[in-house]
Amino acid sequence: MTPTPRRVLVVGNGMAGARLAEEVRLRDPEATRFAVTVVGEEPHAAYNRVLLSTVVAGGITPRDTRLKPDGWWAARHVDVVTGARVTAVDPAARVATLTDADGTERTIAWDELVLATGSTAFVPPTEGLYAGTPGPDASLAEGVVAFRTVDDSSRIVEAAESASTAVVLGGGLLGLEAARGLLARGVEVTIVHPQDFPMDRQLDVDGGAVLTRVVRGIGARLVLGQLVTARHPARDGEPAHVVLSDGSAVAADLVVVAAGVRPRTDLAVAMGLDVDRAVVVDDRLATSVPHVHAIGECSQHRGEVPGLVQPGWDQARVLADVLTGADADATYEGTSVLTRLKAHDIDLASMGTVDVDVHDPGHEVLAFTDPVRGRYAKLVLRQDRLVGAILLGVGDAAGALTQLYDTGAAVPRDRLALMLGRAVTRSTAPDTVNLAEMPGSAVICRCNTVTKSAIVGAFRAGADSVAAVAEATRATTGCGSCKGAVDGLCSWLRSAEPGSAPAEPAQSTPDQSTPDQSSPAPVPAPAALTEGAA
C-alpha cells in the first residue's frame, strides 16, 4: 500500500516560498512523499522582486520577472493558489482557512506549515499619503505608490507617463533604484532621506559622501536630514507638492514610498507563535509551535531579520532538507549578505563589516577615495581574510573581491593590486583562482541565485554561450553585472577539455559540492567572476 504523501502548506508565494517548493520537489521529484501547496495573496505566480527596478526603468516588462515559465509548477505537481489569503490557522487540528479574493472561504489540511509571508512596505502616517485613515490595510491616496510589488512597478510606470515631477521617500536601496528608473523616463526626481547620506545602513561616512555626489551627478535632487511632513494634491491652480520638515515645498506629481519594510507577522501572532521583530525560528527554521516553520523576511534567526533575497533562499534549502529528511543534520547558520545597487550609472556593492576605522587595531583597513570621479573603495581585512568591503565605481575589482568574501579565501599579498582588481593574473601563481575548485554551490548570478553547478549543467545540455546560459538559467538577466563571470565560466568549460565540459565535483545534495582535485590546471578568474548581487 502506497503511503499518503505528507502535506506541506507554504503561506506566501514570494521568492522564499517559491524556492522552498522548488527545493522540496528537487528532493521528491515524483511527488510521492510530499504534496506541496503554495498560497499567495498576489494574483501572480512567483516573480523576482530584484528585477522590479528594471521594470520601472523600462528594461524589462512585468512578465519578464516571473521566476518560472507558465505551467512549470503544475508540471512538477506543485499546487499554486494565487489571489487567496490564509486568514486563520488551527495548529492543533492542522487546518488552515483560505479566503479567496471574492470572499469565499475554504479549508485546507496540512502536516507541515511554512510561513513565508515576507514583508509589507512601510508607509508613514504622513498627512496626505493615505486616501483615508492611515493603517496597514488602508488605501494610499491617488498619486502615491509604495514600491514593493510587481503591480506597484506597473503603477509607477503608468504614473510616470503623465508626471513631470516625483518625490521618492527614502534614500536606501529601493529608493535609489526607483529614482534612477524615473529619471530614465524623463521625470524630475527629488529623493528625501532622513539621514546624512543615502544607503546609510550599507556605507560609512566617506562612502556615503561620494555616493551623494554620484546621485546628484546623474540628475536627481537629494534632500538629506529631512522628512516629508505632508503631501498635498493639485488644487485651486496649485501644483501637487510635499512639505519638508523645514517648511519648504517640493513639487510632486508622484510620490514613491521606499521608506523600508515591516515583516508580516499578523498570522503568526494570531497563531500564538513566539514573535519579536519577526517570527522567531531556531537553526532548523522551526517556530515555537511544532510542525510550523518560517523562512524569509518574516523570520528572525539569531536576532537577525533578513532583508535581502539570498538568506531566504538559503533558508529554503535547509528547510527542504529538514522536511524531507535529505539531510537529518541540516542547520541554518546565517548568510553572508552582499548588497548591490542595480541602477544605471551607479555601480555599488557593499558586503560584511564596513563601519571600521582605518586605525582599528583588530583589522587591516584599505581605503581609496576619488569623489570627483565618483569612486570609493574600502576593504576590511582580518587575519588576511576579507570581512567587509564598499565598492563604488570600481567595477573591475568587484568580482574578484566578492569571490574572496564569499569563499573566505586568503587575500593576495599585494594589497594595492587587490584594490585595483589586478591581483588575479597569470603571473601571480599563488593568487590564481582555480575555477575547478570553486564549489558547485558558489553563486555566480546573485540576482537569480544561479550557481556554478546550474551553469555547468546548462552548458552540458548545450547552452555553450552567455545568451544560451541566460535562456536556460536566467543568469545575467538581472542587473547584468555577472555577464563577464558567465562568459569566463563558459570559456573555461570549453577550454578545459575540448569537445566536452569538465567534470563537476561530486555532489551530495543539490548545489552542494566538493572540489575536484583532478580537474584542469588553474586559470585566471574573470574580473567579474561573482558579480550580480541581489
* Phi, psi for residue 378 in degrees, rounded to 5: -140, 125
CATH of the domain at 58: 3.50.50.60
pLDDT per residue, tens digit, the chain (534 aa), is: 678 999 999 999 999 999 999 999 999 999 999 999 999 999 999 999 988 998 999 989 999 999 999 999 999 999 999 999 999 999 999 999 999 989 999 999 999 999 999 999 999 999 999 998 888 788 999 999 999 999 999 999 999 999 999 999 999 999 999 999 999 999 999 999 999 999 999 999 999 999 999 999 999 999 999 999 999 999 988 999 999 999 999 999 999 999 999 999 999 999 999 999 999 999 999 999 999 999 999 999 999 999 888 899 899 999 999 999 999 899 999 988 889 887 778 989 999 999 999 999 999 999 999 999 999 999 999 999 999 999 999 877 777 788 788 878 889 888 888 887 665 433 333 333 456 667 777 778 876 678 888 899 999 899 989 989 988 887 887 656 677 778 888 888 888 755 544 544 444 333 333 333 233 333 333 333 333 333
> Do 47 and 107 share a domain, yes or no?
yes
In this structure, what C-alpha cell is assigned to residue 22?
522548488
Pairing of strands 254-257, 165-169: parallel
Range of the domain at 496: 433-534
Q: Beta-strand (E) ranges in 405-498?
A: 443-445, 450-451
How many Cα atoms within 13 Å fall on the side-chain side of residue 264?
Answer: 20
- Distance between CA atoms of residues 330 and 324, nearest Å: 11
| 244 shares a domain with 314 | no
Same domain? For 217 and 112 the reply is no
Give kind and range of the element (H or E) at residue 377: strand 375-382
Q: Which ranges of 99-148 would DSSP assign to H, the alpha helix?
A: none
Torsion over CA: 319, 323, 324, 329 (sign): positive
Distance linking the first and last C-alpha atoms of the chain: 46
Burial 46-64 (b: 16+ CB within 10 A, else e): bbbbbbbbbbbbebbebee
Between the alpha carbon of residue 168 and those of residues 64, 221, 270, the distances in Å are 25, 10, 34
Chosen domain end from 304, 324, 344 = 324
Quickly count: other Cβ atoms within 10 Å of residue 461's Cβ: 11
Looking at the fold, whether 27 and 110 belong to one and the same domain comes out as yes
* In a domain? residue 405: no
DSSP strands (E only) in 321-360: 338-343, 346-352
User: Is 370 within the bounds of a domain?
Assistant: no
For residue 327, how many other CB atoms are within 10 A of its CB? 16
- Same-domain status, 242 and 175: yes
> DSSP labels for 397-411?
HHHHHHHHHHHTPBP
Q: Given this model, what pLDDT does residue 514 score?
A: 30
The pairing of beta strand 338-343 with beta strand 346-352? antiparallel
Q: Assess contact for 279 and 273: CB atoms under 8 A.
A: yes
Grid coordinates standing for 11?
503561506
| Same domain membership, residue 238 and residue 150 | yes
- DSSP one-letter code for 522: P
- What's the CA angle centered on 139, arms 133 and 142, to 5 degrees? 105
d(CA 20, CA 266): 21
Give burial (CB, 10 Å; 0-12/13-18/19+) of 124. Answer: middle
| Whether residue 518 is found in the same domain as residue 453 | yes
The radius of gyration computed from the CA coordinates of the chain, to the nearest angstrom, equals 24
* 280 and 316 share one domain: yes
Domains identified in the chain, total number:
3
CA separation for the pair 209, 227 (Å, rounded): 19
Domain identity same for 246 and 270: no
- pLDDT for residue 493: 87
| 293 plus 233 within the same structural domain | no
Same domain, 63 and 92: yes
For residue 496, tell me if it sits in a domain: yes
